[in-house]
């Protein structure tokens, strides 16, 4: 029997949601942070989407947001020329890191001691969070605004994507460029999968998978629409992508076959990420909402409860118009 995908809608933002990130799995579950042009990044319980709090302090659109592995710290990148570090438990602002232009991306090292930033001034910066007064290390080379920057290879290397239509791999200790990938169009997103060292990138209608250490191409998949973001399932069975046609697409990673597509958003999808346990994926959109989608439709998980027709009592029988199982969210 066909199950119907019922996404959970997370409201609260008043402008487009442009970035999101999950924490690792902690003793309290896992968490989700969203960046929005309303300047008010939000923290949520990852499996239910329940709002926990809003980080208040930015004076412009927030373009990037991330959590450290254990969800004790958050970092945000904004149009007010700052990156901020927050205590993700209390919600308090810990640090404001002044930049010379709009900041687009933030990334913690695995030990949470350093923060990598990038933005419209084309420079990568590494801040030592234990000594925030010290000048950051700076890496130059990109010729246009940096969209995304990530630590990789156990924080020994950095990957960056910019509007100069390149992705560059940098060595942290020498601060030198190791390799560059050039594209015909600007790269719209980049995800780094630690397990297996896979880099997932999107550009135009393409979703491409690279070895993150060598930057050798593994495979490319063409989607039906312009794609803004893609995410690979932790077990690498499949990946999801979203873009300009408001839909979420799910593909088989092995065969590259399109498995499903879902419409729920009322605007282009800007970002999509799998949860750390792979049970759901979250999407953020121009429509100002985040939506949580089940990986295995019909499974009882989080707020989803699978109710089969035979489980419904006779008092509910008149409400049952279909033999298709419903997912109550």
pLDDT digits (tens, 9 = 90+) for 139-177: 999 999 999 999 999 999 999 999 999 999 999 999 999
Q: What is the mean pLDDT of residues 273-288?
A: 98
As for how many domains the chain has, the answer is 1
Q: Is residue 328 very low, low, confident or very high in pLDDT (cuts 50, 70, 90)? A: very low
Q: Is residue 253 very low, low, confident or very high in pLDDT (cuts 50, 70, 90)? A: very high
Domain harbouring 121, CATH code: 2.130.10.10
Q: Which residues face 180 on adjacent strands? A: 168
Cβ atoms of 203 and 188 closer than 8 Å: yes
Q: Is residue 147 part of a domain?
A: yes
pLDDT value for 310: 64
Q: Is residue 108 part of a domain?
A: yes
Per-residue pLDDT reduced to its tens digit, 39-82: 999 999 999 999 999 999 999 999 999 999 999 999 999 999 99
User: Domain of 293?
Assistant: 8-311
**What pTM, to 2 d.p., does this model score?**
0.92
Cβ within 8 Å of residue 194, ≥6 positions away: 152
Q: Is residue 327 part of a domain?
A: no
Q: Is residue 316 part of a domain?
A: no
Q: Is residue 323 part of a domain?
A: no
Whether 192 has a pLDDT exceeding 80, the answer reads: yes
- What mean pLDDT value characterizes the chain? 93
Cβ atoms of 30 and 24 closer than 8 Å: yes
Per-residue pLDDT reduced to its tens digit, 266-277: 999 999 999 999
pLDDT value for 259: 96
Please tell me the chain's helix, strand, coil percentages from 3-state DSSP, rounded to the nearest 5: 5, 50, 45
**By C-alpha distance, which of 278, 66, 208 is closest to 151?**
66
Cβ atoms of 174 and 158 closer than 8 Å: no
Q: Is residue 110 part of a domain?
A: yes
pLDDT value for 312: 52
**By C-alpha distance, which of 303, 326, 251, 278 is closest to 3?**
326
Q: Is residue 137 part of a domain?
A: yes
Q: What is the mean pLDDT of residues 287-315?
A: 82
Percent of the chain with pLDDT over 90: 89
pLDDT value for 19: 98
Q: Is residue 298 part of a domain?
A: yes
Percent of the chain with pLDDT over 70: 93
Per-residue pLDDT reduced to its tens digit, 201-233: 999 999 999 999 999 999 999 999 999 999 999
pLDDT value for 305: 86
Per-residue pLDDT reduced to its tens digit, 303-324: 998 777 666 554 443 443 333 3
Radius of gyration over alpha carbons of the chain, in Å? 20
294: left (phi over 0), alpha (psi -120 to 50) or beta: beta
């Amino acid at each position: 029997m066909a199950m119907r995908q019922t996404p959970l809608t997370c409201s609260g933002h008043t402008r487009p949601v442009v970035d999101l990130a999950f924490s690792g799995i902690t003793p309290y579950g896992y968490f989700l942070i969203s960046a929005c042009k309303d300047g008010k990044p939000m923290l949520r319980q990852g499996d239910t989407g329940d709002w926990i709090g809003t980080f208040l302090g930015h004076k412009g659109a927030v373009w990037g947001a991330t959590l450290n592995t254990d969800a004790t710290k958050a970092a945000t990148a904004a149009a007010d020329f700052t990156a901020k570090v927050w205590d993700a438990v209390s919600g308090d602002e810990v640090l404001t890191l002044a930049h010379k232009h709009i900041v687009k991306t933030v990334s913690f090292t695995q030990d949470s001691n350093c923060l990598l930033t990038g933005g419209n001034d084309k420079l990568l910066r590494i801040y030592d969070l234990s000594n925030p007064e010290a000048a950051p290390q700076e890496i130059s080379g990109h010729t246009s605004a940096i969209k995304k920057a990530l630590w990789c290879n156990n924080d020994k290397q950095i990957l960056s994507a910019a509007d100069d239509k390149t992705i560059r791999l940098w060595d942290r200790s020498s601060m030198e460029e190791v390799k560059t990938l050039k594209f015909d169009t600007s790269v719209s997103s980049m995800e780094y999968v630690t397990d297996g060292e896979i880099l997932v990138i999107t550009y135009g209608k393409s979703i491409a998978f690279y070895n993150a250490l060598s930057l050798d191409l593994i495979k490319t998949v063409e989607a039906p629409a312009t794609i803004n973001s893609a995410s690979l399932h932790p077990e690498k069975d499949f990946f999801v992508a979203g873009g300009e046609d408001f839909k979420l697409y799910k593909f088989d990673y092995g065969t590259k076959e399109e498995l499903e597509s879902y419409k729920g958003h009322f605007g282009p999808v800007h970002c999509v990420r799998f949860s750390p346990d792979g049970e759901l994926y979250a999407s953020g959109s121009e429509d100002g909402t985040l939506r949580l989608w089940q990986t295995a439709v019909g499974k009882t998980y989080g707020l989803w409860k699978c109710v089969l027709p035979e489980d419904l009592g006779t008092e509910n029988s008149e409400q049952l118009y279909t033999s298709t199982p419903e997912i109550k969210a």
